[in-house]
């Protein structure tokens, strides 16, 4: 297969065709600078008719801009986060597109940010959106050192990082408080990647609720860092011996595994179950479970909007907290 080069019409072409200068054409399009109403109309109608679109790359070069935002997605995560990230990405693309920006994708582990580095060093993007935060974050360190504008969906402990996040801490506090109020005191906490900031936030909200209720959480009931079905099951089976009366899952994948284990014939009942994230996995489940619901798409749109403000020289608040919703199901 080969493709015929259909060479694009340039600003010079339309200038020549109209017998005006490139400057004039440029001004008619951009709306900047004085220009006669008649000439502008003439130019505008010509380009509309001939389908001329200025080359954004050339425009960008002249303005030292790229009209690209780079979004970096983490490579490794569970499937529960998958659709969340996807939705968020779509939100970014939508908000960016509306403002004439495109999204350049970067994949990255904490260890390997080479893709991000390449994009930045090649001068391919005006700013970046970080979709995942780490407690020791190479992305943040790199971008800050380079002075590249960026925002983060999620929370960060690094000073000066513009963050857009759902209010995980409040949400988890509220959900935990609900359990406590139902008379559940020995709440087990299962799952969560401890290197992720979001886990810290959830944990904090959990403890907030205990503090507010003047109760004390039992660390023996914490089971962080569990991803495999087998280890989650083992944790759940150990619960009765620990006199747990409820279990709170860090995300919907964990919840899904816990649910399965609890349904086994030899599993004790009487445990109350809730999840810190109402993902796609929970939606498909027969047994409804109380969970916190977040809107990933609006997170993405807000993040992108904030980055564009930043690029536009506006001042943005360092932290934007988006609302959540708790879906109570018994």
Partner DNA sequence: CTGAAAGCGCTTACAG
For its own copies, the closer of residues 118 and 136 by Cβ is 118
Cα dihedral 242, 244, 250, 254 sign: positive
The C-alpha atoms of residue 130 and residue 152 are separated, in whole angstroms, by: 5
Q: What is the DSSP string of 186-222?
A: -EEEE---TTBHHHHHHHHHHHHHHHHTT----GGGE
- The listed partner (its own copies, DNA, none) that binds 83, CB under 5 to 8 Å by sort, is its own copies
**Residue carrying the six token digits 């709440």:** 187
Contacts of 217 (CB under 8 A, 6+ apart): 187, 189, 206, 207, 210
Near its own copies by CB under 8 A: residue from 57, 212, 230, 242:
57
Write out the two tokens for 94: 């939508």
- The answer to whether 32 contacts DNA (rule: CB under 7 A) is yes
Q: With CB under 7 A as the rule, give the number of residues binding DNA.
A: 33
Near DNA by CB under 7 A: residue from 16, 30, 45, 181:
30
Nearest C-alpha neighbor of 292 from the set 198, 229, 214, 156? 198
Write out the two tokens for 57: 């790359």
For DNA, the closer of residues 23 and 317 by Cβ is 23
- The answer to whether 58 contacts DNA (rule: CB under 7 A) is yes
**What is the contact mask toward its own copies in residues 91 to 130, using x (rule: CB under 8 A)?**
--xx--x----xxxxxx-------x--xx-xxxx------
Contacts of 29 (CB under 8 A, 6+ apart): 43, 44, 47, 54
- The answer to whether 23 contacts DNA (rule: CB under 7 A) is yes
The C-alpha atoms of residue 197 and residue 310 are separated, in whole angstroms, by: 23
Provide, rounded to whole angstroms, the least separation between the CB of residue 26 and its own copies. Answer: 16
Provide, rounded to whole angstroms, the least separation between the CB of residue 10 and DNA. Answer: 3
- The listed partner (its own copies, DNA, none) that binds 93, CB under 5 to 8 Å by sort, is its own copies
Residues 216-255, interacting with its own copies (CB under 8 A) = 229
Question: What are φ and ψ of residue 179, in 5° steps?
Answer: -65, -45
The C-alpha atoms of residue 27 and residue 29 are separated, in whole angstroms, by: 5
Near its own copies by CB under 8 A: residue from 31, 32, 38, 160:
160
Residues that bind its own copies (CB under 8 A): 1-6, 8, 53-58, 60-61, 66-68, 75, 79, 82-83, 86, 89-90, 93-94, 97, 102-107, 115, 118-119, 121-124, 146-149, 160, 162, 229, 256, 260, 280, 284, 286, 310, 313, 315-316, 318
Residues that bind DNA (CB under 7 A): 7-8, 10-12, 19-24, 26-27, 29-30, 32-40, 53-55, 58-59, 61-64
């Amino acid at each position: 297969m080969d493709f015929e080069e259909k060479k694009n019409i340039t600003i010079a072409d339309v200038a020549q065709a109209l017998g005006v200068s490139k400057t004039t054409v440029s001004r008619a399009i951009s709306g900047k600078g004085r220009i006669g109403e008649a000439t502008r109309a003439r130019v505008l109608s010509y380009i509309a008719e001939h389908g001329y679109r200025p080359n954004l790359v050339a425009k960008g070069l002249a303005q030292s801009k790229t009209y690209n935002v780079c979004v970096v997605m983490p490579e490794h995560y569970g499937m529960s986060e998958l659709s969340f990230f996807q939705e968020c990405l779509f939100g970014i693309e939508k908000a960016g597109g509306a403002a004439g920006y495109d999204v350049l994708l970067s994949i990255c582990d904490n260890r390997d940010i080479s893709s991000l580095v390449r994009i930045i060093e090649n001068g391919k993007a005006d700013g970046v959106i970080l979709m995942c935060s780490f407690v020791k974050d190479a992305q943040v360190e790199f971008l800050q050192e380079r002075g590249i504008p960026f925002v983060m969906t999620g929370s960060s402990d690094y000073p000066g990082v513009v963050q857009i996040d759902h209010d995980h801490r409040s949400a988890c506090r509220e959900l935990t408080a609900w359990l406590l109020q139902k008379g559940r005191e020995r709440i087990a906490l299962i799952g969560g990647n401890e290197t992720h900031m979001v886990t810290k936030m959830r944990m904090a909200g959990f403890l907030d609720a205990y503090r507010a209720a003047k109760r004390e959480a039992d660390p023996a009931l914490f089971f962080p860092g569990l991803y495999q079905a087998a280890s989650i099951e083992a944790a759940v089976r150990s619960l009765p011996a620990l006199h747990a009366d409820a279990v709170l899952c860090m995300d919907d994948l964990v919840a899904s595994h816990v649910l399965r284990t609890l349904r086994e014939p030899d599993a004790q009942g009487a445990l109350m179950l809730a999840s810190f994230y109402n993902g796609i996995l929970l939606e498909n489940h027969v047994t409804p479970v109380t969970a916190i619901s977040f809107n990933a798409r609006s997170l993405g749109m807000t993040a992108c909007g904030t980055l564009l403000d930043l690029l536009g020289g506006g001042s943005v608040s360092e932290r934007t907290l988006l609302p959540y919703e708790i879906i109570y199901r018994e």
